[in-house]
Amino acid sequence: MTTYIVRRLLWMIPTLFFVALITFVLMHATPGGPWDRDLSARQVDARTQELLNKEFGLDKPLFINTEGGNPLDSQFFNYIGGALQGNLGPSYRQRGLNVEDILFKPPEGKPFWDSKFGYSLRLGLVSLAFAILFGIPLGVIGALRRNTFIDYLSLMISTIGISVPNFVLAILLIILVASKLKLIKIVQQDWSSPGAWVVPAVILGFGTFAFITRLTRSQMLEVMQQDYVRTARAKGLSSRVVVARHMLRNALIPVVTIIGPALAGLVVGSFIIEQMFSFPGTGREFVQSISRRDYSMIMGTTLLYAALVALANLTVDITYAFLDPRIKLDK
């Protein structure tokens, strides 16, 4: 297993390289630049743009230096070299701050959880907890009460969650619960209150909740037809023991394998919800960096998200091997 893990970690290097390459190409193919407008929305003159380009290295070639000297002395390879050393570069619009400081450094005297990445990670964990705590029981009950009202209800809810995007649910919730009924606040001033997290966490995790519900129900229905379940019932074991020890344990193997990518997906895909609810996380920072053409922030956030997805997939493969002894990670 150690060889497999090392091999997968090494494969992450070219994966992240090509993610950075594609992001860099698309970023520079988009019209505009970081100096088109400054923070006060005034046009930056040509001389100032020239000085800023020289200061931040944007006057160098994009990929290959054909003017002599080191051919890799270019914007892309200089950024890759800095990223390998843990330096994601300075922010072009938040002057005096590096990307890693913006994403990972909390306010003075605050713990890591109060950093922008900490906020997004907490939101993803809360959303995943909601999806697991409600999705698995609903899927199990739906399978055990097949073709009953609760089964049809679980199918209806999961179908809505899978087919309707979370930002559409957010808009509907804003219109109905916030504007009409005035039961919740959309823009929170203080995110230290646990109640402020309920609405964005539920909306963000609703799609994952629906998928877990459907997957749990289908796996339970498949396991119920297996011979070992009928043998356990024939031995006179109680229904609770059969469900908990024989059915649920095997039915949850596919569910467990999606938890890692689900968490990464919730953290990565939270930028729409964060923007809609003015949530102080990395997703909102990513959206704002795109509109500002903050190149280093775009690259750093994209690489962070790609690394999270790659690590989540690796964790799932390892977890799967522990859950099912028949699976060997030898290759």
The predicted-structure confidence for 162-213, as pLDDT tens digits, reads as follows: 888 888 888 887 787 766 766 666 666 677 777 778 888 888 888 889 888 9
pLDDT for position 295: 84
| Separation between Cα atoms, residue 176 and residue 189, nearest integer Å | 21
Which element (helix H / strand E) includes 215? helix 198-223
pLDDT for position 323: 62
Tokens for 122, please give them: 């907490």
Q: Are 188 and 278 in contact (CB under 8 A)?
A: yes
* CATH architecture of structural domain 1-331: Orthogonal Bundle (1.10)
| Separation between Cα atoms, residue 111 and residue 126, nearest integer Å | 18
Q: Are 120 and 267 in contact (CB under 8 A)?
A: yes
DSSP per-residue string spanning 214-251: HHHHHHHHHHTTSHHHHHHHHTT--HHHIIIIIIHHHH
DSSP at 244: I
CA torsion angle for 57, 62, 64, 70 (degrees, to 10)? 10
| Separation between Cα atoms, residue 190 and residue 192, nearest integer Å | 6
Number of Cβ atoms within 10 Å of the Cβ of 25? 13
Closest residue by Cα to residue 154 from 137, 134, 132, 138? 138
Instruction: Show me where the domains of the chain are located.
Output: 1-331
DSSP at 156: H
Please list the ranges in the chain whose pLDDT falls under 70: 1, 36-45, 66-69, 178-179, 181-189, 237-238, 246, 320-331
Regarding pTM above 0.85, the answer is no
Number of Cβ atoms within 10 Å of the Cβ of 98? 19
**CA 69 from centre of chain:** 41
| Separation between Cα atoms, residue 201 and residue 119, nearest integer Å | 12
